[in-house]
Chain A
Amino acid sequence: MIPSLQSISWRSTGLITATYFYFLIFAQFAFLKAIELTGEAASLKLVMGTMGFAGILGSLTSPLFLKHWEWKIVLRIGFLSCGMMAFLSLASWTSAHAWSMIAGGIGFSLGIVTVTLVSQLRNLSGNHHWGMSGGLGTGLAYFTCNVPAVFRASPFDQSLIAGIVCVAAFFGTSIKIESSSIQEMRQSSPEMHAPFVVMLLAFTLLIWLDSAAFFIIQNDRELLGSTWGSDTLLWRNGSVHLLVAVFAGWWLESRNSLSPVFLALGILAVASWLVNDALTREVGGAIYPVGVSLYSTCLVVFPAYWLGHLSLHRRTFLASLLYAVAGWLGSGMGIGMAENLHRVPLAFVMVVLGFTGVVLAHEWLRKYCRELATCTTLLALAFVGSELQGNAVLSSQASISSIHNGREVYVSEGCIHCHSRYVRPSEDDITNWGPQVSYEEALKECPPLFGNRRQGPDLLNVGLRRSRAWLKAHFINPQLLVPMSTMPRYDYLFSDDRGESLIDFLMDPQASAKARYETIQNWNLTYPSDASHEVSNAWKLFQHHCSACHGEDGMGNGEARADLARSPANLRYGPFIYSRDPKEIPRILKFGIMGTDMPGHEYIPDSDIIAISSYVKSLRHSPHSYSTP
């Protein structure tokens, strides 16, 4: 159900917006920029440390203030103090101590304001929709900060606006509350299924991740540009923040569920991992606002309503603990991590995701605890067993060659599922794939890699049929050299030494070149009774099998030539011009030229060989007059 405008507490919404706005645009942004502009950038660490320390102090001492004074007075003093700090920062202070003192004031005031506001929010909201107030207040703050005019304003202007907002909030707190509504609200307080400690840990991790990701984005010019670089991006971010925050508020209230907290944790964990890598940074930057808005709404709504069934004193104490530990300490940890490691470590992301998984699946885990215990025990036993076995294997191994490594790569990549390494004692197999190697020899390998499928050629005698350069080019982009090949790309193997090792293994001679040479010389081309169709198809066949290296017009200028050791032959003016043996060109087409980059086309039918051969000859005989169909 979507609440009407009248059912939303606009006073609560406004105060939440004011607090978040102050924190986002001033404390986290304009204030630090102002320090940088006055040439005191070196003292930023000190200033931020002071702010964090004062924030913890302010949060933790809030319950004391609330014990002795009325909450409205505390909140007013807090807002007034925040405003004063904003106005004070307008002066161009040149002393690090002065900036630190202001930072202390900001942190302390914010600590008091946040704890007081969230612990009294139910009093402020009355019977209105609390979730929507929290969501809308948070969303509006983020949205306003992303309005280009505000976002691009000078630090001076931003501080000024923040100060004015605080003054407005100061006056916004002086509105009467009906006491009966408080009783009613207390009864309708949602039940909290997870212990407070779990929620505290969840929020700490959230703010930790948020701060780390924010710091990484801020310090990467390219990423900063792709996240907040244009007006369109700013409007997009602002809208996403607003929509997600409102949605989170609605979700929290209508479902009485804290799931958004853990969803936000998952999103932020993934986003902070993605911003580590240049390739995935943009995606990380795009999903980051979603996670931030989700948890920011929860951070307001959770202490206000999920702790609502507790006494005022206890609620305030827990809220102060939440903001001191999760808010200030989590933020400090996140910035520290990003500053020192320049990335969010995968291990940390995994811990966060693991924690999220455990919390979300705790019911399931409780139900299947026996099964899980059994699995864990067996896994541990097997791990010990495999470690012992692995050590025994390692100690028995002699020096490992590149060919051996290549063989491991061959096994590891599952090449046996598409390629055989076994030439059968049949004429066709020997002609196509090279000399046979006896099965006794093959069985000496552990394990023998006979394979049982030929989606591609047999790979026993590759060294007699292909060159290193051709193999490498083919691994990197198979479809460049064999356009209709189903072979996957293995370019990643060349990011380390796996690719070269694999080539070493494939090039390792299994049979003698002499035997292969004899087969090639004894080969007889089978002429089909009617080759007219194939000949008419010759141009197409040439483009398919030859143009990648020799070029579309046979000039030796194909796309793949750069990858080969020597430039491919120019078929119009090249060496074949003087060829007198009619079998030579078909033979080269079929078997390639051993020791060069010219590969064979062993698997294509003789009719196609004849057709391509005719085409190549036609290029030779009339190099200038041949026209493509």
Chain B
Amino acid sequence: MTGPSQSKLIAISLRETKRIALSRRRAKDRILDESIFVPDGANTAITHAFFWMFMANGVGIALAWLLLVPSSGYWMGELTYGRWIPVHLNLHLYGWTSLPLVAWLLRLYAPQDDHPSAAARASVWAWSMSLMVGAIAWLRGETSGKIFLDWIGLARVLYPTVMLFLWSVLFRQWWANRQVPGWAPVVQMVGLLILASVPMAVFWASGREVYPAVNADSGGPTGMSLLGSTLIVVLLLLLVPQLQNRATWGQKLVIPRLCWLTFLFQVGIVMTLGFHHATHHDWHQWLGLGTLASWIILMPLYYRGFLWPPKSMRWQRAMLFWFGLLVATGWLSFLPKVLDHLKFTDALVAHTHLAMAGFVTSFNLFLIGLLAPSSLADHIHRPIAFWLWNGATATYVIVMWVAGAFEGADPSFTIIRGIARELLYAIRFTAGLVLFCVSLIWWRAARSAMIQR
């Protein structure tokens, strides 16, 4: 290489470095100047979400205690373990998991005039009311018998009705904003059209006559069902930076393009292999599910391309870590021999908690950190609560995996309580107690942030 061309190259390189640095600084300034507007309804939804997380965790530790000391449940009469489980599961799914997404929707469709929307607030209260009605029904022994779709009777009609009401609130806000220039109203309308199908889908799926494809060798879901449901999560993860309008820096378009192409490819796999009954011994199933492993690398790269408030990075990293672990262990657990060993054991409990306490919670807290007023966001980003939560979750998951491994080899490990089982379950209870206490702290912080407003 000649001298002048080398100096030219160095000059170009320096110029490029300066450009990137400038773009990064501008983007950072934009973040710092960005005043977070939190609509009233979204704020209410966040507070309610924390409340339900606290309640669900409370029920959770009570259940963990019942497995340690079954006799302590005698005084509860008909409110036995089996009736509390749907309360625990559904409060987590429809309360803690769903309400931050409701908050996000209310933020995305927020009226431009910053006018507090009583209807949005009311829709969140109605959501909580439907959960309460559901919880009462489950405790009364009224359930469809389908895990995570226990809605039946009044609750089965009420929950979709509340969803429709929320949809009407979003529609009203979209209508008020429809004249806003740009593509936003069109994108929002497409979103509304998709959301309109959700209430009916929930009502239909809760029906006893409807049941998804079955893995005949395990009695559980097929690989394609798992791939399909995980792709919804992937879609959500891909949409968050886009819909939050996060600034990009120094990112070549190749990563986002690769991500969307991978996503479409996997949707294609699901469509091709279909939702028919198939076993995990069928190589199509476990190989198809295995394509999810690509996200362990792609998703962090994708998120790296956007600029985020520095404080939110802690929960973002946790979210990406738990997501990667969930995908990896989920696939490993589905493999022939492994699933045969772990099915129906505590390993499933470990997987569920890895998903809910690990991934979903960190995703929600990351999202809430972006949506919530600074007083609450500061609280969420505090390192003590962060490490307590993630440490307790990791402990919980490991303990349950160990218990599951023992149980897979010897069913009597769980059915007849021995010292090893008791010890593991005691650690699990302690970890649950930590999760419960942290959720109480968060709920209190959300409440006081709400009151301050």
- Determine if A487 and B121 form an interchain contact, defined as CB atoms under 8 angstroms apart: no
- B62-99: CB near A (< 8 Å → 1, else 0) gives 00001100110110011011111110000000000000
Name the segment of B9-17, B217-225, B239-247, B310-318 touching the other chain. Answer: B217-225
Name the segment of B123-131, B261-269, B296-304, B319-327 touching the other chain. Answer: B123-131
Does chain B have a CB within 8 A of A576? no
CB proximity of A462 to chain B, nearest CB, Å: 15
Does chain A have a CB within 8 A of B441? no
CB proximity of A264 to chain B, nearest CB, Å: 27
CB proximity of B11 to chain A, nearest CB, Å: 64
Does chain B have a CB within 8 A of A385? yes
Residues of A within 8 A of B211 (CB): 443, 447-448
- Determine if A378 and B78 form an interchain contact, defined as CB atoms under 8 angstroms apart: no
Secondary structure at chain A's binding surface: helix, strand, loop or mixed? loop
Name the segment of A114-122, A240-248, A409-417, A559-567 touching the other chain. Answer: A409-417
Does chain B have a CB within 8 A of A215? no
Does chain B have a CB within 8 A of A629? no
Residues of A within 8 A of B433 (CB): none
Residues of B within 8 A of A412 (CB): 141-143
Residues of B within 8 A of A485 (CB): 70, 415-417
Name the segment of A100-108, A170-178, A313-321, A368-376 touching the other chain. Answer: A368-376
Residues of A within 8 A of B141 (CB): 412-414
A409 to B165, CA, bound (A): 34
**Which one of A378, A414, A416, A455 lies within 8 Å of B415 (CB-CB)?**
A455
**Which one of A447, A451, A457, A544 lies within 8 Å of B144 (CB-CB)?**
A447
Closest to A371 in B: B125
Given contacts A479-B70, A490-B80, contact A370 B411 (CB under 8 A): no
- Determine if A425 and B217 form an interchain contact, defined as CB atoms under 8 angstroms apart: yes
Name the segment of B52-60, B104-112, B338-346, B361-369 touching the other chain. Answer: B338-346
Does chain B have a CB within 8 A of A73? no
Residues of B within 8 A of A373 (CB): 122
- A367-395: CB near B (< 8 Å → 1, else 0) gives 01011111100110111011001100000
- A443-469: CB near B (< 8 Å → 1, else 0) gives 100111111111111000000000000
Secondary structure at chain B's binding surface: helix, strand, loop or mixed? helix
Does chain B have a CB within 8 A of A439? yes
- How many B residues touch the partner, as a band? 35 or more
A608 to B415, CA, bound (A): 14
- Determine if B344 and A420 form an interchain contact, defined as CB atoms under 8 angstroms apart: yes
Residues of A within 8 A of B157 (CB): 382-383, 385-386, 389
- Determine if B156 and A386 form an interchain contact, defined as CB atoms under 8 angstroms apart: yes
Residues of B within 8 A of A442 (CB): 214, 219
Residues of A within 8 A of B399 (CB): none
- A401-427: CB near B (< 8 Å → 1, else 0) gives 000000000011111111010101110
Closest to A487 in B: B70
Give 25 pairs: A residue, B residue, CB < 8 Å, sorted on A: A368-B125, A374-B123, A378-B165, A381-B161, A382-B157, A382-B158, A385-B157, A411-B145, A414-B86, A415-B82, A439-B214, A439-B277, A443-B214, A447-B144, A447-B210, A453-B349, A455-B67, A457-B411, A479-B70, A485-B416, A486-B66, A486-B417, A488-B80, A492-B77, A603-B416
Residues of B within 8 A of A (CB): 66-67, 70-71, 73-74, 77-78, 80-86, 118-119, 121-123, 125-126, 129-130, 133, 141-147, 153-154, 156-158, 161-162, 165, 208-211, 214, 216-220, 277, 340, 343-345, 348-349, 407, 410-412, 414-418
Which 9 interchain pairs have the tightest Cβ spacing? A414-B82, A422-B219, A412-B141, A382-B158, A411-B145, A374-B122, A371-B125, A488-B80, A450-B219
Q: A457-B411, A488-B66 are in contact. List 17 more A-B contacts (CB 8 A).
A: A368-B125, A370-B121, A374-B123, A378-B158, A378-B162, A385-B157, A411-B145, A412-B142, A414-B141, A442-B214, A442-B219, A450-B220, A452-B219, A454-B411, A485-B415, A489-B74, A603-B415
